[in-house]
Amino acid sequence: MTVDVWSAPPTTAVLVLADGTVIEGRGFGATGQACAEVCFNTALTGYEEILTDPSYAGQIVTFTFPHIGNVGTNDEDVETVNMAAASGVRGAIVRADVTEPANYRSAKHFDAWLKARGIIGLSGIDTRALTALIRETGAANAVIAHNPDGVFDIEALKHAAAAWPGLVGMDLAKDVTSSQSYGWTQTPWVWDEGYGTREDGEFNVVAIDYGIKRNILRLLTDAGCKVSVLPATATTDEVMARKPDGIFLSNGPGDPAATGEYAVPVIRELVATGLPVFGICLGHQMLALALGGETVKMHQGHHGANHPVFDRTTGKVEITSMNHGFAVDAGSLPATVEETHVSLFDGSNCGLRLKDQPVFSVQYHPEASPGPRDSHYLFRRFTNLMRQRAGGETIPEKAETA
């Protein structure tokens, strides 16, 4: 009689934290090793959009939803614009092993997609325990390593994780921004039709790219904007040469104070022009710096598509998509700035506006992708500010729900 004896699958990937903790699992995607900060994302869908969001540069994403990769990947759902820089995310950690894709839109297996983008995958670990650890001790510096042979120099990996300096003081926008200016005409995806185009526009908008996502540009275009995208290092003269009706400050990765060394003086000058300014995420943080506020590193950050935010100006609550490890210190904002939104998770700042100028920003990602559409109205708020400045009639703001 033959007796089957179960044995654990071999270890082909590890996550080594800066405190010496070693987590073993199974590797997929790219091979090699990478130092980064480990965070967790609570979204149930949109793993491809998450892993191509440039705001994740320098990070390893732990997915709290256990089944990742099961619907495959396709080129339509990629969010990064600068394909040469990829997205900057260093690794993906998932609970269940990746299965064969089961979706009519799938064009490539998740494993092959990660390989092509140089992203290391780690599966088969208790992602709940890792998430709890991050919640208790904070986002950890770590090394993720994948070797199909299962051979690792653990002591060397511990040293590398402990030696990595972390995201504080890192300017990562320069790694993910576009290298040159370009125009954008694509509009949002429509079921059974795909993406459309719009060549004209009521408003001329300059979007400064600190790590911008495609769906942001699509929603700006859909809202009636003719969009020109400029690199993160664009000067005030370069922006104003486009004769904009409004300025958009994009999302992006890294420490806002570090990127702000060159971006904040430009933002301050753009605010002084009196033009409408709309910022999100990193753009929100650097706008706060330009207005006299300060930013701080968060304990674990906010990453997910289910974050409740209270809008103090309307009394409404919107469910938002977030991805940030730094936040604006609301107590540092000067009297000329009003705090407009706060997180209902921890009370942290999620929005601001100048009291006497058409300037506002939010910490979350109103374009979602993935996530709910509650905050799409902010793009109409931006276009209304440009209409008001031109003496036109505004249109109603109506929050959308998923």
Spatial contact of 93 and 15, defined as CB atoms under 8 Å apart:
yes
* Rounded CA separation 303/41 (Å): 5
Q: Are 58 and 144 in contact (CB under 8 A)?
A: no
Is 338 among the residues known to form the active site? Answer: no
281 is an active site residue: yes
Whether 225 is catalytic:
no
Catalytic residue among 281, 302, 318, 341: 281
CA dihedral 167, 112, 302, 289 (to 10 degrees): 50
Tokens describing residue 47 = 């793993």
**H helix or E strand, kind and range, residue 388:** helix 377-389
Asked if 157 contacts 60 with a C-beta cutoff of 8 angstroms, the reply is no
Residue 124 to residue 98: CA distance in whole angstroms = 10
Which amino acid is residue 367, in one-letter code? Answer: E
Cα dist from 74 to 5, 12, 46, 79, 114, whole Å: 40, 27, 12, 11, 12
Q: What is the DSSP secondary structure assignment for residue 240, as one 8-state letter? A: H
From 24, 37, 48, 367, the catalytic residue: 367
Rg of the chain over Cα atoms, rounded to whole angstroms, equals: 21
Do the strands 13-17 and 22-29 form a parallel or antiparallel pair, or are they unpaired? antiparallel
8 A C-beta contact, residue 164 and residue 35: yes
Structure tokens at 298: 């968060």
CB neighbour list of residue 8: distance below 8 Å, 6 or more residues apart: none
CB contact set of 351 (below 8 Å; sequence gap of 6+): 284, 309, 311, 339, 340, 341, 342, 360, 361, 362, 363
Set 146, 307, 365, 376: catalytic member: 365
Q: Which residues are CB-neighbours of 144 under 8 A, at least 6 positions away?
A: 13, 14, 15, 33, 34, 36, 60, 90, 91, 93, 120, 122
Please identify every residue annotated as catalytic.
281, 365, 367
